[in-house]
Amino acid sequence: MSRGPSLKTAPRLTALTTLACVQALLLTGPALSAPVPQNAAQPSSPPPSSATRSSATPSALDAAALAAQREQRAVGVARFTAPDYKPGLLRHMVMFAFRPGTTAAQRAEVTRRFIALASLSRRPDGKPVVTSIETGAQNSGENTDLGLEQGYLVTFASEGDRNFYVGRPIVTEPRFFDPAHDAFKTFAAPYLTKGVVFDFTPGAPAVP
């Protein structure tokens, strides 16, 4: 496991966690994705995974996603996605399992495009949304990886930045979510069989 800040207290889960973020990631639809390189051609007509199918079912939203929807309605979408909405460090962990037959070049292209969001994810005024993105392949020998192969850690400066970045299925108005991330979801979905997302606000780090 990569080194990172350990926590003195248990993390407080934020509103857009687990299934809702997986649904946002695997949701397919119109996008702005760039042409796929020849060595990273998408599989032809892949069968939808169970995660993809569930993403199209509104009843599949979990309690955290429903709470986020209520929060957005209460404060308004403009406030919910504002950069100063609930400021403070926020971690957005994402883990992928790739579809069998996905080549090394295709996996690398998924990761390249994910990392590129650190620069491409911007608000309409040009300000960046992401503080940083880190990635690495699963290398734990603890026999609890659940088949997940590649991990990403996205850091935001506020919940508003996270909400703007994540977008659908919680935020559905295009002017209030990140088109670059939305395009990435559509590009990546055919290569994936599983995605896990876990968001938290870190407490004070424990040090020796």
For residue range 159-192, list pLDDT tens digits in order.
999 999 999 999 999 999 999 999 999 999 999 9
Predicted confidence (pLDDT) per residue in 81-118, tens digit = 999 999 999 999 999 999 999 999 999 999 999 999 99
- Domains in the chain, start-ordered, CATH in brackets? 12-29+49-54+62-201 (3.30.70.100)
162-197 exposure pattern, b = at least 16 Cβ within 10 A, e = fewer: bbbbbbbbbbeeeebbbbbbbbbbbbbbbbbbbbbb
Q: Tell me the whole-structure pTM to 2 decimals.
A: 0.75
Burial class of 15 by CB neighbour count within 10 A (0 to 12, 13 to 18, 19+)? buried
Q: Are 115 and 139 in contact (CB under 8 A)?
A: no
Which residue, chain included where needed, has tokens 């992401």? Answer: 130
Q: Are 102 and 194 in contact (CB under 8 A)?
A: no
Radius of gyration, CA atoms only, the chain: 17
Q: Are 201 and 12 in contact (CB under 8 A)?
A: yes
